[in-house]
Amino acid sequence: MTQEQIQVTEVQTLRLPAIAIRGLVMFPKMVLHFDVARQKSILALNKAMQGNQKIFLVTQKNSRIEHPKKEDLYTVGVVAKVKQILKAQGEVVRVVVEGVYRARMCELITDDPFYEVMCEEMPMEPVQESKQMTIDAYMRIVKDLFEEYCYYAPKMPKDLIVNIIGSEDPVYVSEYLTQNLGFSLEDKQTILEESSIRKRLEILSTLLRKENEILSIERSIAERVKDQIDRNQKEYYLREQLKAIHAELGDDDEGDREIDKYREKLKEIHPDEETEKKISEEINKLSKMMFNSQEAMVSRNYLDTYFSLPWNVMTEDKLDVNAAKERLDADHYGLQKVKERILEILAVRKLEPNIKGQIICLVGPPGVGKTSIAKSIAAAMGRKYVRMSLGGVRDEADIRGHRKTYIGAMPGRIVSAIKQAGSMNPLMLLDEIDKLGSDYKGDPSSALLEVLDSEQNFAFRDHYLEVPMDLSNVLFLATANDPSGIPEPLYDRMEIINLSSYTREEKFQIAKRYLVPKQVKRHGLNGRTCRFNDEALYNLIDHYVREAGVRTLEREIASICRKSAKMIVAGEKKSCHISSKMLESMLGPQKFKDDDLQKENLVGVVNGLAWTAVGGEILQAEVAVVDGNGKLELTGSLGDVMKESAKAAITCVRSLCDQYGIDKDFYKNKDIHIHFPEGAVPKDGPSAGVTITTALVSALGQIPVRHDVAMTGEITLRGRVLPIGGLKEKTMAAYRNGIKTVIIPKANEPDLYEVDPVVKENIRFVTAKEISTVLETALIPLPAQCLEEKNPQQESAALVEKAVVAEHPCLNA
């Protein structure tokens, strides 16, 4: 056994009283002051004073345990000598001890009435010469780290610094430094228990490096906090100086009042959190600006615009469906689809008040009342009315506004319309939505996509306001003349209601009920001084105006009222009774003539029905057949579709040759000329197919066509009759021209619901699925044919011919 091993084994074992200390770790050769309050510890002190004044001090693991057991105590502690005991307040004893050496608790003999243990000394391991340089290196590292620690903690005691820097004893440095620095209890206990000086210094250097990093972070944080405090103090100082300057200039009170006024308005509105934060920041920014500066003017204009909007203003809807119906009927004649849709909105809103997303687009020709009915709808619903004309708008900023940083910036038309309406749920009319343009500045129709989407417009953001605005309560009503001019995504967001042109009867009712009283009153006349009879109004509609709406009709009525006022003022007449005879003297010769229809049954001449933007018209088809080599001539300014219909009709007629006595080789040895009068007017569409077919059969078979029959429908090669559009206008044209029978496609039978009652009362409608039905109705059978059909029993030919002539008086000619 070596000398070093002998030194390690020769240790002292003593029986000593013990004290469990809390929150402290005792080291040898260190003097410690602490208070003793537990009765067990006081008894242990008394026991030590009765003997050699030595006591075993061991740290308890959890300082909250009042009566710790052996497992609650660390094993390694320090044998200390009691230097002084002082009586403190109450039962507390203040004791001064000095560490003698490290010791390990071998056994806890008793814990009542005080702790008494068997402990043995724990000397440090001797240092081998080969490891001396390593320990010296660690000493330098520890001292360097301690100096860095002192840099971050400048209030270190000078005697501590001198003792550490000046000492070369590694055991002393490790224990003295550990006890006086703010390491954790566990770290201090770890160093106390370590017997290898090299490992002690290694642990100590690691703890010092970690502590230095923490102190460095704390210092940087403290510097940032200090800088922030200094900046706040500087801003406060400058702000106080600015207030003093404002006070000297005389605008301090005015600026403060303005800021207070804005803050009060913000509290009254109660916006959402995002909006409140944005507006509050803008108010605070304004409060720091010079009162008359350019930036203050921009900020002030923005706040004035924001607070001028009716954020919490909502009008209450009138949900009386019957009252709304009376109001709409009183203001406008016709327009049943629009009225019915509005009444549906009111009915649903009465059952479900929170429903949103009504976006309607009225599509129709000019002058049919699309714009004017919007006012009536707003009045019927009890909403504010605001109109926004979109015709010619090319800049996207017109819809969304400009950024407020630009000179002359302003909000978009949507926000301006809400401001003009004075409520957040107006009826907003987007007039002429199909006239939107686009250029390098943007596409305004794309900006409307969010506005007219009920799933998105609850948070519409204008570029100027920069805060969300709820547009879901707005009832959007758009108007358009040509639906093809509306972009497809925008078209898809709206409910389309098509308005057709006014019929003759509708124009008469509108003129009699609305236009005449309006213009008579506007020109200073009354019902006694200026009267229009019904015949004069019909004559005016038929021969002086030709339009889809009633604007020109109103202008002509206004012209008559002006001339009547002139005659009354000049003394020529006391009152004017406007009749058909007076129209020519007031307005000049008739501008439009009635369709010059033949009043006799002719071969190859058929009455067709055509739709135009200003209403329906009679369109006659004439067919001439002459000897030739199968040439087909089409005249009358026909479009491609109409020419194709003529070719399809010829093919269809070839399958009907046997039924109507037509030469099967007519397409080889006959030249056919199909003509539509008024050749200067372009014509196109497939709806003249049955008309051309009937005219061909009549001309090729020399069969007369009834002059009081008109027809419309598309024809196929196999003789099927396909549906067409514009039935309401076409039937009105037939009624106006004295037609008694109208042939329509079978598929168009549901459209008869929209035909005027006066038309249905005076016209017999024949629905045709095949061309045979059309020909049976329109063609007049020849006497020989009638004989064959009506006299299968070979009756007298003379009796049959007499009966046929009696049924068809035109044949008597």
Q: How far is CA 426 from CA 83, 150, 160, 474, 638, in A?
A: 93, 73, 82, 5, 48
Give me the count of residues in the chain.
813
Pairwise CA distance, residues 438 & 394, whole Å: 5
Task: Give Cα separations from 572 to 317, 569, 575, 578 (angstroms).
Answer: 53, 8, 9, 15
Decide: helix, strand or coil at residue 484: helix
Nearest to 96 by CA among 49, 151, 33: 33
Tell me which H or E stretch contains 307. helix 294-307
Catalytic-role residue among 40, 188, 404, 730: 730
Residue 216 falls in the annotated catalytic set = no
Q: Among 126, 137, 123, which residue's Cα sits nearest to residue 201?
A: 137
Q: Which residues of 8-24 are buried (b: 16+ CB within 10 A; e: fewer)?
A: eeeeeeeebbbbbbbee
The Cβ-side half-sphere exposure at 740, using a 13 Å CA radius, reads 6
Strand partners, 766: 743
Which residues are registered as beta bridge partners of 498? 363
Instruction: Give 447-473 as a DSSP string.
Output: HHHHHT-TTTGGGEE-TTT-SEE--TT
Residue 359 · residue 494 · CB < 8 Å: yes
Q: Which two tokens stand for residue 653?
A: 């007629």
Distance, CA of 306 to CA of 304 (rounded, Å): 5
Burial category of 778 from C-beta neighbours within 10 Å (exposed 0-12, middle 13-18, buried 19 and up): buried
> Which residue, among 262, 381, 270, has the nearest Cα to 318 in the 3D structure?
381
List strand residue ranges (DSSP E) for 358-512, in order: 359-363, 385-389, 427-431, 460-461, 468-469, 475-480, 495-498
Two tokens, residue 55? 């006591």
d(CA 45, CA 16): 10
Is residue 586 a contact partner of residue 576, using CB atoms and an 8 Å limit?
no
Q: At a CB cut-off of 8 Å and minimum separation 6, what does 74 contact?
A: 58, 59, 60, 61, 189, 193
Point out the catalytic residue in the list 683, 687, 698, 728: 687
Contact yes or no for 11/120 (Cβ under 8 A): yes
Task: Examine the residue annotation and report whether 261 is marked as an active-site residue of this protein.
Answer: no
- Helix 170-180 to helix 132-152 angle (10° resolution) is 30
User: How many Å apart are CA 181 and CA 157, to the nearest integer?
Assistant: 11
Amino acid at 241: Q
CA–CA gap between residue 689 and residue 714 (Å, rounded): 5
Q: Catalytic positions, please? A: 687, 730
